Each structure stands twice: as C-alpha cells, then as structure tokens.
Structure 1
Amino acid sequence: PGRPGPARPAPPAQRTSREPAAKPGPSAPAGSPAGPATDAGASVPQIQLIPASVEGALDAAEEAVDLLLDSGRAPGEVLVITTGDPHPWATHELSFGEASYWAQHDAGDDVFYADAAALDRAVSRPVVVVAINGGSEETAVGALPTALTRAGALLIVCGDPQRINAMLGAGV
C-alpha cells in the first residue's frame, strides 16, 4: 500500500474450507526443538506442520499466512518459501526485475515470497512458512535447515507429514 508501481495480484478469491488441520497449531514432531532454549536467552523457533499434498502445499501456506495476519502478525514479519513452482506473487514481481523484487524484501514491510534457491539471500523474519510444493528432494531437504535459521519465533512447514518428519529428522 502506498508504493508506486503496478498493483500486486490479489490472492485467490475462492478459498477452500478452513478445516482445523489447516490452522497453524502446535504439531511439531516429537523430539524436535519446539520451545525456547534455555541458554543465554536464545530461543529455538517453534516448528508447526500443516499436512498438505504437494499440489495443496501452496494453498496451505496461503491459509497459514492469512491466519497469521488475522491473528495480528504484521505482514513484514512473514517470509514464505516455496520448494517447487514459485508463488504467483514472486513470479509477478520478478517480471519487473530482480532489483525491484529484492528491494521489496529489503523494505521488510510486506509478506515476502521467495524460492528455496534464493533462501540464502533472504534475511531472518519472525515467521517463516515453507511450502513443500515440489522441486527436487535435495532442494526441499536443504531448505528446511536454512528456513529454521531464518525463523525468529515460528517455522511453519506445509507438505506431506511423513516426508517432512523424515527431513526434519535428517538434520534439522
């Protein structure tokens, strides 16, 4: 809002039902770091899992973002990462060039959508949402540990629960 340039595409108008399984809630796998750490005041982000198919992971991530914003999170506190096809917003914004796209990231005043391949360039935000929406296994496995380091308070992962738990157990 208030920025020059073309309007961003609106999120999909039609939404699927808001089932309880789609709400971010405490569902971290057993044994994973889900609470604050005790040393030197540092904290480990809470990890939440939202079950979704590869095809539904991006929609689940959108629902999670909507719920976060509805619950009072500021848009600039949220980073969304995709492992497969990029989010339509990212595709649209990248059509204006990398410099403009990353300038919006650096401004930090809106939800930012990035591909897992660009995760090393993204800065930390309080909430990181990862949509496991395809891509190579290597991309997905590599994105989770980096996303965890970028998440200040909460990491939400949308995708196949068995696959995600296997990935989380393999190095996150």
Structure 2
Amino acid sequence: MPGPRSAPPRPAPARADRPGPPRTARIPKPGPRRPAPAAPQPAVQLVAATTAQALDRADEAVDQLLDAGRKPGDILVLTVGEAHPWQQHELSFGEERYWAQLAEGGDVFYADAALTRPARREVVVLVVNGGTAGRAAEAYTKALGHTAALLVVCGDAGPAAAAAAAAGPTSGRLPA
C-alpha cells in the first residue's frame, strides 16, 4: 500500500530522564495557619439631635453623603422610633415590593432598626427618633453589623456610640 507508514512507538524515557523532582523529594508542609487580619472597624460619626430633630438630621446626613459622591445603594437608614416617612410610603406598595428594593440595592433603603434580614451597606444612618435607651443601644450594636465603612448616628444611642465616635474622626462634614 503506498503512502506513509506509521513509525514504531517510542519507548518512554527512563525515570531518571523525566523532568521534575526525584521521587524522594519531599514537599514541605505549610506552616501554622495565621488568623486572618481583623476587618477594620467602621468609622462612627455622631450628629447631635433631639428625638424630634433626629429624622431631619438623618435626611440632611443622607443628602451630604449623596453630595459627597456616595451612591444611593450604598446607604441604609435605620430608625429606632417611628418609621421614616419614606419607609411608610414604600410599604404602601406592599411588603413584597418593599423588600425587593433591599435585595436590588439600587436606592437608599429605609427600615426599622430591628431589621432581621441580611443587609450590609457601606454607610448606615441610625436615627434615634424614639424608643428606650436600651433599644437605642441595641440598635447601635446591630447597625454596626450592617455597615462596612461608616455609621452615622443621629441622636443619642448611648455611651457605646459616644465612646466609638470619640475614638475616631467625628467633626466637620461627613466623610465620603
């Protein structure tokens, strides 16, 4: 039959001729695991406000954050007392649509400070517009868990909030 003929198979090279570590080489085991570095704590800023002023101060804080370049979806507003009027408005369209907005993350979201759904935003504005001192302190702790970078507290959330704010920058305009 005309045409090329197949060549006989090549023998595999001897083990010593193969590239790579010799069989007796040991692969070093990794050393002890080091714990991951702790995540940085969010900055805390206090905005002085009475219970009656807290909602207005929170709205001003949100406006400042947006003016500074924050995206609306970066901001979560939590109220300790009565629901924010915008939350009440959004709930008028039904619970399902209201919670869908949280999942979509495209706009400022307003909720009660007792929020149990998973929500994490760059900035949380905590509005202490009522409730007891104990509820305000609990809301402060929960709000810290919802924020990645900045917690703005409008009103009196108790000694823990004051101590955290004293440890970091708290004066001047809200950081972007």
The answer to whether the superposition gives a TM-score over 0.5 is yes
Cα distance change of structure 1 residues 91 and 61 upon mapping to structure 2, 3 Å threshold: same
- Matched-pair identity in %: 53
The answer for the alignment partner of 2:145 in structure 1 is 149
Q: Which of the residues 109, 112, 115 maps onto 2:106?
A: 109
Q: Whose RCO is larger (CA < 8 A, sep 6+)?
A: 2
> Are 1:93 and 2:86 an aligned pair?
no
> Are 1:57 and 2:50 an aligned pair?
no
Deviation of 1:165 after TM superposition, in Å, equals 4.2
Runs (4 or more) in structure 1 with deviation over 2 Å come to 136-139, 167-171
Q: RMSD across aligned C-alpha pairs, in angstroms? A: 2.1
Deviation of 1:120 after TM superposition, in Å, equals 2.0
> Are 1:47 and 2:40 an aligned pair?
no
Deviation of 1:138 after TM superposition, in Å, equals 3.1
> What are structure 2's unaligned runs of at least 5 residues?
1-35, 165-176
Choose between structure 1 and 2: higher helix proportion. Answer: 1
> What are structure 1's unaligned runs of at least 5 residues?
1-38
> Are 1:125 and 2:121 an aligned pair?
yes
Q: For residues 74 and 145 of structure 2, what CA distance do their matches in structure 1 show?
A: 15
Q: For residues 118 and 94 of structure 2, what CA distance do their matches in structure 1 show?
A: 17
Q: Which of the residues 159, 166, 176 maps onto 1:166?
A: 159
Q: Scaled by the length of structure 2, what TM-score is found?
A: 0.68
Q: For residues 154 and 169 of structure 1, what CA distance do their matches in structure 2 show?
A: 14
Q: For residues 161 and 108 of structure 2, what CA distance do their matches in structure 1 show?
A: 25
